[in-house]
């Protein structure tokens, strides 16, 4: 076994390949609802901004242009309700997954340190902890949110939150977030909230860690992670950023300067355009809402129960059977979904069904389920 494979979990998506082959063999082709990758066009104003900055022969800065930092601070205040955000409170990054995977390492954590993450979660939180040589500590989100003091996490150095959750779509309420932040500050724990699905609330309005009702108007000990992949269809641009504690972000800025982790100048310009326009976000939400309504009804008519899923790009669905049985059943219909155990043992009887398919493919999935 190689040194890398011994310290990282198996890459789960390889296990899905036989079911992908089965679904692909369907006479009308596969409907791939397994990965939340955007399929709709990049809005034209963003494409224009990207191409308009194409003549960028020099190196970009890690901190980004002043225009980008202005856009990040303005968006955090207008969309998240944050107050008093300065350039020192923002930092662009090369996609949110890169940040999640390398944050413990960049914070200088290592052997003897503990990193906590939701028990049912996006696998990269655990991967990042293992890459840094720290101890990964899964925790139960509902129990922790109700009583942070009773979870035994006082000695962790970094605590990940994910609201809205990937894969479940569950959302932490404002009072729960406030309890967690207060507890973390009391114990000197850095809280990092992955909020990449925050603009996709359906049955509730997700709240940011940076909201003054949560953080008390100060960003000490908290960082929020945001991405333009889902809300603006920019997964291919790797456009993301963090907002929060100036001391933490200042340290990250210095480390990332040494590492040459620079967002390309055309992507910086595209990010400014994307954050300055709400129309394309509203239009994309409407597309996802229509697909969600149709797919949820079809799944429920087919015998599924949809749990949580009040926000985000997925329907957390179950037929009360082992998740791989459900994957196999849907593959026979030409529909590929993600087994819930990819996200932890607590998902072993669910599948994650993505809304990221074209209208034509989503209509095909609905017909097959009928």
3-state SS record for the chain: CCHHHHHCCCCHHHHHHHHHHHHHCCCCCCEECCCCCCCCCCCHHHHHHHHHCCCCCCCCCCCCCHHHHHHHHHHHHHHHCCCCCCHHHEEEECCHHHHHHHHHHHCCCCCCCEEEEECCCCCHHHHHHHHCCCEEEEECHHHHHHCHHHCCCCCCCEEEEECCCCCCCCCCCHHHHHHHHHHHHHHCCEEEEECCCCCCECCCCCCCCCCHHHHCCCCCCEEEEEECCCCCCCHHHCCEEEEECHHHHHHHHHHHHHHCCCCCHHHHHHHHHHHCCCHHHHHHHHHHHHHHHHHHHHHHHCCCEEECCCECCEEEEECCCCHHHHHHHHHHCCEECEEHHHHCHHHCCCEEEECCCCHHHHHHHHHHHC
Residues in the chain: 370
Is the predicted pLDDT of residue 11 greater than 90, yes or no?
no
Residue 14 pLDDT level (bands cut at 50, 70, 90)? confident
Average pLDDT, the chain: 96
Which residues, in sequence order, are bridge partners of residue 352?
A: 316, 338
Is the predicted pLDDT of residue 3 greater than 60, yes or no?
no
Task: Determine the pLDDT at residue 6.
Answer: 58
Q: Which domains does the chain have, with CATH numbers?
A: 3-41+280-369 (3.90.1150.10), 44-275 (3.40.640.10)
Is the predicted pLDDT of residue 358 greater than 90, yes or no?
yes
Q: For residue 304, give both structure tokens.
A: 């599924």
Strands 158-162 and 190-194: parallel
By percentage, how much of the chain surpasses pLDDT 70?
97
pTM: 0.94
């Amino acid at each position: 076994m190689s040194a890398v494979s011994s310290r990282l979990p198996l890459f789960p998506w390889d296990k899905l390949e036989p079911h992908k082959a089965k679904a692909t063999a369907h006479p009308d082709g596969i409907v791939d609802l397994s990965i939340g990758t955007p399929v709709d066009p990049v809005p034209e104003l963003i494409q224009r901004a990207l191409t308009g900055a194409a003549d960028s022969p020099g190196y970009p800065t890690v901190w980004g242009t002043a225009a980008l930092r202005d856009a990040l601070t303005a968006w955090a205040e207008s969309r998240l309700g944050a107050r008093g955000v300065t350039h020192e409170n923002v930092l662009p990054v090369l996609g949110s997954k890169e940040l999640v995977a390398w944050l413990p390492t960049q914070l200088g954590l290592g052997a003897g340190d503990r990193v906590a993450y939701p028990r049912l979660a996006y696998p990269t939180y655990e991967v990042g902890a293992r890459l840094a040589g720290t101890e990964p500590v899964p925790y139960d989100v509902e129990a922790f949110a109700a009583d942070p003091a009773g979870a035994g996490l006082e000695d962790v150095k970094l605590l990940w939150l994910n609201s809205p959750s990937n894969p479940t779509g569950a959302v932490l309420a404002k009072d729960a977030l406030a309890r967690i932040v207060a507890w973390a500050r009391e114990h000197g724990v850095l809280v990092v909230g992955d909020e990449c699905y925050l603009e996709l609330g359906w049955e509730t309005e997700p709240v940011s860690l940076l909201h003054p009702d949560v953080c008390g108007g100060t960003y000490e000990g908290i960082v929020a992670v945001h991405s333009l992949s889902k809300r603006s269809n920019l997964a291919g641009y790797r456009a993301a950023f963090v907002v929060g504690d100036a001391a933490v972000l200042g340290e990250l800025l210095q480390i990332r300067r040494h590492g040459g982790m620079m967002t390309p100048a055309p992507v910086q310009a595209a990010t400014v355009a994307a954050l300055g326009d709400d129309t394309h976000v509203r239009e994309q939400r409407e597309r996802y809402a229509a697909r969600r309504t149709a797919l949820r009804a079809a799944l429920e008519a087919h015998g599924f129960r949809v749990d949580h899923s009040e926000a985000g790009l997925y329907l957390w669905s179950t037929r009360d059977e082992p998740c791989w049985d459900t994957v196999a059943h849907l593959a026979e219909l030409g529909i590929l979904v993600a087994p819930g155990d990819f996200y932890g043992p607590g998902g072993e009887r669910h599948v994650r069904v993505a809304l990221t398919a074209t209208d034509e493919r989503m209509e095909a999935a609905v017909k097959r389920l009928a």
